[in-house]
Amino acid sequence: MQLQAVDVVDDISPEEFYQKYVKTRIPVKLKNYSKNWEAREKWTYPFLKEIAGDHKVKLHGAWQDNGPTQIVMPHVKETTFGEYLDMLEGDVKSDLRIFLFNLFKLEPSLLNDFDFPPIMDGYLEDYPYMFFGCAGSDVRLHYDIDLSNVFITQFGGTKRITLFDQSQTKYLYKLPFTTHSAADLGNIDYEKYPALKLASGWQTDLLPGETLFMPSGIWHYIQYIDGSFSLSLRTLNPSRMGKLQGAYNVFVIRKLDEYFNKFYKNSWSDYKLKKAIERTNEIIDSRSAEYKD
């Protein structure tokens, strides 16, 4: 794979941001996106344990244990939020994660600690999500099914994020009826997935206080270098076609995959994996044929 650094900016106007990054669907790291947030100083592990530590939370394990084509991940453990935060603060090595966690429904007062910066319109203000992960855990390569834009702000330790735009999909072993890749970027098997060598993208380490803008449809693979957490704010896809495609993905494509998984189970999983490998490796075969000609 060929990976370049993500652009980094301190301040940028909404117009320049739209022209350089939203319109072109290029990721960028924003240093001052959250500069006015009380959360930057306030959301420490002791604070979160004090305000929300008694809540029960469901923890999810390694995505690889869920099978290479399974999308829905059942939880593997239930504990108190405080006990889990102790693991993050202690940098305990583990696969355990919490994702798409709306802590604000449990503790609405936390909504006062951040705002929705006016760098872009169309925020989904009812859906701020938090993501927590232990040191050593990772998130499989995928792009968000609803095709929204995402601003992910980091707290605690460091995340390493690898990104690819949609033009690279042909190299990424996309599973049919999903927005996920079959390949494990944390342990790449180039013999099984040779087309990955042709993929070009970006990589960055996201540090506390920094925000990564991930444009609509961008592939991302996330590694928790340290135990840490982040806040994710989303905006609607700015184009009408993008909104329609996102809705189609959520309400049609995902439902079809859930239906086939329910009734065909392993045979459906085997089919998806086979097709992902066949379709992508055809790229390798066609390129080899071109070089021979």
Contacts of 152 (CB under 8 A, 6+ apart): 131, 206, 211, 212, 214, 230, 231, 232
Q: Which amino acid is at 25?
A: R
What is the pLDDT, as a whole number, of residue 78?
96
| Sequence-ordered strand ranges (E) for the chain | 2-5, 7-9, 28-30, 56-59, 77-80, 97-101, 129-133, 138-142, 149-156, 159-164, 200-206, 211-214, 219-224, 228-235
What is the pLDDT, as a whole number, of residue 28?
98
What is the pLDDT, as a whole number, of residue 291?
54
Which option is the CATH number for 2-292: 2.60.120.650, 3.30.300.30, 3.10.310.40, 3.30.540.10?
2.60.120.650
The alpha carbon of 6 is separated from its chain's Cα centroid by a whole number of angstroms, namely 16
What is the pLDDT, as a whole number, of residue 289?
54
The answer to whether the beta carbons of residues 181 and 168 sit under 8 Å apart is no
Question: What are the mean pLDDT values of the chain's consecutive 10-residue runs (293 residues total)?
Answer: 96 96 97 97 96 96 76 86 96 95 95 97 94 96 94 96 97 94 94 94 98 97 97 91 87 87 82 90 71 54
CA distances from 251 to 123, 126, 194 (A): 21, 19, 33
The pTM of this model reads 0.93
What is the pLDDT, as a whole number, of residue 287?
67
What is the pLDDT, as a whole number, of residue 266?
80
What is the pLDDT, as a whole number, of residue 127?
92
What is the pLDDT, as a whole number, of residue 276?
92
What is the pLDDT, as a whole number, of residue 288?
63
What is the pLDDT, as a whole number, of residue 52?
96
What is residue 185's DSSP assignment?
A: T
The answer to whether the beta carbons of residues 112 and 149 sit under 8 Å apart is no
